[in-house]
């Protein structure tokens, strides 16, 4: 059964890919065997993150358009916020990307965060690895843009793109420490707005200390995604990052795999912890409940 799925995915069968993603999402019995059979892949994963309203979906749409025009195949994972009650996606339909849903060179899957505090899907690592087994030239992961997703995307993507808008000056200050560490490329979207040039200048000044630790400059690309301006420059910056120094790439790959392994081990250790069961146990304890005595049982 599983070898047949792998073969179909490698041959570009999108139905088999979609079915496999559902099996992993729902943790169907034996799905771990499917994951163990996945072949090694060097398909680059591009993570696009940033605060809500920065135009991430429009940027992804413009990037897809450019890649398709260059006869590239693209897999896209869109992580949406989910309802805290039924864990379903609140923004399941991607209106801005609707023209690509039936395109033969584009595969789009919208995923709910399912209560994950980091803003990413709890099975995002496994699902992105499934996409890497398919014949895509690029895989794009767009985060929900809340919580720690700006940081967590660094543990998933080969290239991390942080998208901001010219009005985000104060927000950049508050997110500065994490963003400076994980960003491979900064995109200032909606750069046709007033004071965009001043914002870009200030952002480059803020990035200057990071040059000494990373030993490389972090590109700052101005775009107007709704008009597809600056997208060629962004793709050039992405390709330069992908084709960067081999030593740096190898070191980052090791850290990337270590980060993925850490998250997967953490998930496995927590697999038997059920929130509903915790709630019932807490209710049974009544008013004498002590949180720290309770967690000591685990």
Q: How far apart are the first and last CA of the chain?
A: 37
- Other CB atoms within a 10 A radius of the CB of residue 266 amount to 10
Of the candidates 269, 190, 277, 261, the one whose C-alpha atom is nearest the C-alpha of residue 225 is 190
What is the rounded distance in angstroms from the CA atom of residue 206 to the CA atom of residue 179?
Answer: 11
Q: Model-level pTM?
A: 0.82
The beta-strand segments (E) located in the chain are: 45-49, 74-80, 106-112, 138-142, 159-164, 185-188, 220-222
Residues β-bridged to residue 222: 188
Q: Tens of pLDDT along the chain (298 residues)?
A: 788 999 999 999 999 999 999 999 888 998 889 999 999 888 999 999 888 788 898 999 999 999 999 999 999 998 865 444 444 444 544 555 667 878 999 999 988 755 444 446 678 888 999 999 999 999 999 886 644 545 567 678 889 898 989 886 655 655 555 566 678 899 999 999 888 998 888 888 877 765 545 556 789 999 999 999 999 999 999 999 888 754 455 566 777 778 788 888 888 888 788 888 899 989 888 888 888 888 888 7
Asked if 110 and 173 count as a contact pair (C-beta separation under 8 A), the reply is: no
The span from the CA of 88 to the CA of 134, in Å, is: 26
């Amino acid at each position: 059964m599983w070898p047949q799925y792998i073969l179909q995915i490698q041959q570009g069968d999108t139905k088999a890919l979609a079915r496999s993603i559902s099996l992993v999402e729902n943790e169907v019995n034996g799905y771990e065997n499917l994951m163990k059979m996945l072949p090694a892949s060097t398909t680059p994963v591009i993570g696009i993150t940033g605060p809500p309203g920065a135009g991430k979906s429009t940027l992804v749409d413009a990037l897809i358009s450019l890649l398709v025009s260059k006869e590239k195949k693209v897999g896209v994972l869109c992580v949406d916020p989910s309802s805290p009650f039924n864990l379903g996606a609140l923004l399941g339909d991607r209106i801005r990307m609707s023209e690509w849903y039936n395109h033969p060179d584009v595969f789009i899957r919208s995923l709910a965060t399912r209560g994950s505090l980091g803003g990413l899907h709890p099975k995002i690592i496994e699902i992105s690895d499934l996409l890497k087994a398919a014949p895509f030239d690029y895989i794009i992961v767009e985060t929900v843009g809340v919580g720690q997703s700006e940081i967590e995307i660094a543990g998933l993507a080969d290239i991390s793109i942080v998208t901001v808008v010219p009005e985000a000056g104060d927000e950049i200050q508050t997110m500065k420490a994490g963003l400076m560490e994980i960003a491979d490329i900064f995109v200032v979207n909606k750069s046709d707005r007033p004071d965009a040039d001043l914002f870009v200048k200030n952002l480059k000044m803020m990035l200057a200390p990071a040059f000494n630790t990373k030993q490389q400059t972090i590109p700052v690309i101005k775009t107007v995604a709704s008009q597809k301006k600056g997208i060629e420059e962004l793709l050039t910056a992405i390709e330069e990052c992908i084709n960067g120094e081999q030593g740096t790439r190898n070191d980052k790959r090791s850290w990337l795999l270590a980060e993925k392994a850490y998250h997967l081990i953490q998930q496995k250790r927590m697999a038997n912890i059920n929130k509903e069961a915790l709630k019932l146990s807490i209710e049974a304890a009544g008013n004498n409940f002590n949180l720290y005595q309770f967690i000591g049982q685990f």
